[in-house]
Amino acid sequence: MSNDSTDQTIQGGIWTLKQEYDIDNIINTHELLSDYMTALIEVAAADGVLSEAERRWVIGLACAIGSPKTVIDELQTYQPKGMTGVLKTFHAESGHSNGIHRQLSLIYDGFRAAGADGELHPKEVEAINELAKALQVNEAKVKQLYELYKENQQNRLNRLKIIFPNGGNNAIAEVEKLY
């Protein structure tokens, strides 16, 4: 692998897509990436507030899956417009492939984006549930995704407490003193 940052971005994107979604190839269609990431911003802002941490989480995910700079730039300044576009693109009857294949990942990643500021507020959960209902996503599946989100958050905290009992930043600071 070369030192080219584009190659590194692609390789990182391939790894992340496989690790997180069991997808084997990079997604490089601007519109597909933009639709999904802006939908995540809309979901995170569905309670009426888009925190900087929520925006950073969506941008971080976009970077991690190898999104092109044009998508990242769009997300930096994107202002939530409401759920109309999300419903149009992700509704099961829209005929759009996102409505067939990506609703559940949108709901799950929506929980993750909305909780990126450290707390998944009840208004955010309610907004995600309302979105799922409007998209005609099975209520039991949404509940299952919410429980999975909570379990994964708790497992992450448990893992970090074991690996870095004094915090990850402290561990890195101590290691860096040796270099």
Helices 103-114 and 139-163, packing angle to 10 deg = 50
Contact between 110 and 131 under an 8 Å Cβ cutoff? The reply is yes
Residue 157 lies in a domain: no
What is the pTM for the complete model shown?
0.88
In a domain, 143, yes or no: no
**DSSP code, position 98:** H
Answer positive or negative: Cα dihedral of 127, 133, 137, 142.
positive
pLDDT, tens only, 37-51: 999 999 999 888 899
What domain range includes position 61?
A: 5-137
CA angle 32, 82, 91 (to 5 degrees): 50
Q: Rounded to whole angstroms, how far apart are CA atoms 51 and 54?
A: 5
Asked if residue 172 belongs to a domain, the reply is: no
Q: 170 lies in a domain?
A: no
Q: Which range among 2-6, 35-39, 50-54 shows the weakest confidence by mean pLDDT?
A: 2-6
In a domain, 45, yes or no: yes
Mean pLDDT of 92-96: 73
Phi, psi of 29 (to 5 degrees): -85, 115
Q: In total, how many domains does the chain have?
A: 1
Average pLDDT of the chain is: 89
Q: What are phi and psi of 119, to 5 degrees?
A: -150, 130
- How far does CA 148 lie from the centroid of its chain? 15
pLDDT at residue 84 is higher than 60: yes
pLDDT in tens, 9-30: 888 888 988 998 888 887 778 8
- The domain that holds 51 is classified in CATH as 1.10.3680.10
For residue range 110-142, what is the model confidence (pLDDT) as tens digits?
Answer: 999 999 999 898 989 998 998 899 888 999 999
Q: Give the model's pLDDT for residue 4.
A: 58
What is the tally of helices (H) and strands (E) in the chain?
Answer: 10, 0
Q: Which residues contact 133 (CB under 8 A, 6 or more apart)?
A: 139
Is 49 within the bounds of a domain? yes
| 157-168 tens-digit pLDDT | 999 999 999 999
CB 98 within 8 A of CB 88: no
Return the higher-pLDDT residue of 86 and 155. 155
Return all residues near 123 (Cβ < 8 A) that are at least 6 apart: 47, 48
d(CA 104, CA 102): 6
Domain presence at residue 145? no
In a domain, 16, yes or no: yes
Q: What is the DSSP string of 36-56?
A: HHHHHHHHHTTTS---HHHHH
